[in-house]
Amino acid sequence: MIIWNMGKQLQHAAIVNNFLNYLRFEKRYSAHTIMAYQEDLQQFFTYLYDQFSMPQPALAEIAPSFVRSWLASLKENKNSAKTINRKISSLKSFFKYYLRTGELEQSPMATIISPKIPKRLPVYVEQKDMETLFNHVEFPDTWNGRTERLILAILYNTGMRRSELISLKETQVNRAANNIKVLGKGNKERVIPVSAVLIKEIDDYVTQKARTLEQPDQIHLLVNDKGRQVTVGFVYNAVKKYLSVVTTIDKKSPHVLRHTFATHLTNNGADLNAVKELLGHSSLAATQIYTHNTIEKLKDIYKKAHPKA
């Protein structure tokens, strides 16, 4: 049972907990995602209490004007359009759930328009810089050095998310078929083909893990020098440290390697639907942003190469 304790707003615990448990048990959302929904709903109901003296309004009493007032206050408090859109999405999902259960006849979100978010191109590492990283950068001849190199290799070769990498199990690597099965958002499985070279690196790592470390975690693939599953901080620090050696881009996170994977595929002619499947995106819209990087690259080539550019 998810507990939602707001003090003066405790009376809303039941309707919010029902929704959060639906996300957890039926939609199978991650704990991180559920926490984000919980925080958004907590802020909204607190606002209703503070601004409209509504300690326990019925769902049908929540009018679109109340929602607009809350959104306006978020904008006044300098929340970004991206943050506001996320909160709108949380409320839409919340009221949609109660429409389906029959406890609500009309959603107050029906007339709410989300603010436009300026499109930002994904930050990625140039292909030549990734080649420099794997061909010329020396990694320490230590267990953590081996782990750091494999982390970078897997992220770049598969485009998987950091959370997917950390939870990756040895049994998810299919040596015979040269692929890795990934458990993504909503517990959706996808299979990512990889090179024989990466499979050999993984095999060597697993062999050395059993020989080098004392009682290592043999369920999860990646472990630190204590034999324990790598942490979020370990992965982030490894990526930041080695990308800093080969590139001057501002962001140097595991997600940048996901962008790099997708951008290099599209730049080299990969079908967008195939990239969508490899990334585990639920819709093509999320993948299409990588075509903008390709177009920008083509523009740059045109300017440099065409005599009339």
Angle at 208 between CA 207 and CA 210, to 5 degrees: 70
Active site residue ranges:
161, 185, 255, 258, 281, 290
Partner residues linked to 191 by β-bridges: 181
Alpha-carbon 289 to chain mean position: 15
The rounded distance, in Å, linking the Cα atoms of 108 and 105 is 10
Q: Measuring CA to CA, how many Å separate 288 from each of 62, 133, 261, 271?
A: 36, 27, 14, 11
Residue type, 248: T
The rounded distance, in Å, linking the Cα atoms of 134 and 139 is 9
Count the helices and strands in the chain (H runs, E runs). Answer: 13, 3
- The helix (H) or strand (E) run that includes residue 53 is none
Place of tokens 């620090």: 237
